[in-house]
Every structure is written in structure tokens, then in C-alpha cells.
Homo-oligomer: A and B are copies of this chain.
Amino acid sequence: MQQITIKALARELQLSVSTISKALRDSHEISEATKRRVLQLAARLDYKPNPYASSLRGRKSRNIGIVIPEVADSFFSLAINGIAAVAKEKGYHSIICLTHEDNKDEQAILKDFQSGRVDGVLMSVSGTTENGAHIRALMDHGVPVVLFDRVLPDVPAPKVVTDDAASAGNATRLLLKNGCRQVAFLGLSPRLSISADRLSGYESALREAGHRPLAKNVLCCDADAHRNLLAIKRLLRRKDRPDGIVAAVEKLAPLVYQACNELSLRIPQDVKVICFSNLEIAGMLQPSLSTVTQPAFEMGAKAAGLLIKLMAGKRVEMEVVVGSGIVGRGSTGGSGKLPNRTFPNDTGSN
């Protein structure tokens, strides 16, 4: 239990704690001979400096907070890897906090972060978050924040997003091209940028094709899978039911499949489906799922890079847009089995 402290090293070597500290930090004030002795003993005793003591004195934690709705989502798990890779390289630890799509949890986490626990925060807001007051409050306390993917318009923080509107438009156009007459849109809270932007891309594509966007074809889902399933089934039981679905978040795809299954609707014959998703196994679903695939790892890495600059006091671009790609597979019908991949339309500014 008794940790090996710097004091123990000092006693052992008959040196002062300040000398040990300086030696460990390779200060020029310490002779090479002494440094060697200190380093050797530290290695032998497997000494690890207490991070809390360092944080306290240095007034920085070398921790970054990652605040996301959940981890069981391939976009977020890939983004985490991107973030962690950059953070680790720069000597930062990542603290992952999950909101479970609950704004109350999100607020509590950001409140906690006012304590100085982290030097900066990367976040993707929850589906129940109405505005960015809690994020601004954190920023007012001097904690830099970078938003990625799910951003909010009223937060003056740098943002890393994909070309949501364009991608949703492309997805919608693919469905229309493949014969859909009535395309529905499944999103989350319209307060979320990804919902709003993807919705507007969907609407533009409809208008462009001479269709009128209809409110009844737009469904706002939430974190309750069961309720979402019921809503989707209600949508698909309508007499004038949609024959195409653009789903804006990954977790909705299985629900659409399940709903179709339970209602004996065939994909893609009766309903064509495309979903924003990074699922590796999209191609092995029944039928294989067409997706809008985001560069999740790169977005995480980019966001982490921005945050690190920000924490160093540098100025950074306020919006980075990276392109997503569409992978057409079985669920959108069309040209057959081969995936017709469109390349990311890279409108990025990095």
C-alpha cells in the first residue's frame, strides 16, 4: 500500500526531494552522475510520480474529457480510438464519460468538469439536449471545448462535423433514383445539428426532385428503443406508407429492420433503407445495409488535435467539415449486389 514517493528516493540516496524532482525532470541544475543514480533507483523501485500531486501544483491535469452519448455505437467507438491515439501521443489521458442520451447526466458531467478534473473537453451532445447553456458555462470557467459530430449552434466552440446536409441529400437522391415515391426521414431531436442538417439535406433533395417534404414523413426518435420501434411501425402501417427511409443515426437501422420484419415488409422491395452508420457488419445484414459512412476515426483525431492546440492557447479554425461517403448495398435495391461506393466529397477545410 505504501506508495513509493519522492521522499523515499531522497532518503535512500541521501539527497533532498527537490534534487530528486529536478533529476527526474532532467533539470540542468543536476549533475549527470546524480541524475544517473536517481534514475537508476527510480527504475529499480518502479517509482511512479503521483499524478494528483503534479496536477495540483501544476494546475493542469493532462486529462481530457470525452463526453459522448454511448459507447455501443460504432461511430463513437471509432472516434474514441482517433481521439485516444492523438491524446496519448501528446501525453494526455482520456476520460470517457457517457451521457446515455440524457441531458441531466450530461449537465452533471460538465459540472464535475468545472472542478479542474480535465484540461479540455471533447463532446458530442446527447439527443435530449436542448441548448448549450451548460457547455457555455463550462467554457466560462476556462475549460476549452471542441464539439464533434453532434454539435449545437449556440455554442461558440470549434466544431468538427461531416457534410451532413450534402450526405443526407445524396442518400435521399439514391432512394429516389431507385424508385422511391415517398421517402421518410428518421432523426433525433431537431435541436441537434446532425438531425437538423441531415433533415434539411433530405428536404432539399426532395424538393429538387419535385417532391414536397411532408411533416408526417419525419420522425423524431429518442433513446427509448421500444418507443422508437413502435413509432417506426406506426409509420410503416400507414395506408400511404413510405417506400424509402433515410435514418440519421446508426441505432435506428436495426429497428427499421425489425419493424419491417414484424410487418412483413420486404427490404428493399417494399421499403428501401439507408442509414448513417459505421457498422462494420452493415454488409452482412439481412439484406445488406446501405450506409452513409463517416470518417469517424479521423473526426475524433481532428477534434483532439484542435483541442490540444486550444489548450496550448493557440487559435484554431471554428469549423472543420469532413466528407462522408455513401456505400450502396442491398437495402436500397438498385443495381445489384456490388456495392456502389461514392467517394467522400471532401469539403474539408483542414
| A residues apposed to B, CB below 8 Å | 1-3, 46, 48-53, 55-56, 61, 70-72, 74, 77-78, 80-81, 84, 93-96, 98, 100, 111-112, 114-117, 137, 141-142, 253-254, 257-258, 261, 279-281, 283-288
Contacts and interface: CB of A to CB of B under 8 A. Distances in A.
A293 B51 CA distance: 39
Contact of A52 (B116, B253, B287): B116
Contacts of A77: 70-72, 77
Given A284-B285, A285-B286, A286-B284, A117 B74 contact: no
A114 B261 CA distance: 52
A49 B52 CA distance: 14
Given A48-B111, A71-B80, A285-B286, 17 more contacts: A1-B141, A3-B116, A46-B114, A46-B137, A48-B114, A51-B115, A52-B53, A52-B116, A53-B56, A72-B77, A81-B98, A81-B100, A254-B280, A254-B284, A257-B284, A258-B284, A284-B285
Nearest to A55: B52
B61 A72 contact: no
A116 B2 contact: no
A112 B52 CA distance: 12
A285 B96 CA distance: 30
Contacts of A258: 283-284
Chain B CB within 10 Å, residue with most, of A50, A61, A70, A74? A50
A152 to B, nearest CB: 21
Contacts of A56: 50, 52-53, 56
Contacts of A74: 72
Contacts of A55: 52
Nearest to A100: B81
Contacts of A61: 52
Contacts of A283: 258
Nearest to A253: B281
Contacts of A285: 281, 284-286
Nearest to A63: B95
A7 to B, nearest CB: 14
A52 B3 CA distance: 17
Contacts of A261: 284
A161 to B, nearest CB: 22
A52 B118 CA distance: 11
A103 to B, nearest CB: 16
A319 B257 CA distance: 40
26 contacts: A2-B142, A3-B141, A3-B142, A48-B111, A48-B112, A48-B115, A48-B116, A49-B115, A50-B56, A50-B115, A51-B117, A52-B61, A52-B117, A56-B56, A71-B71, A71-B77, A81-B98, A93-B95, A95-B96, A253-B281, A254-B280, A257-B281, A258-B284, A284-B285, A284-B286, A286-B286
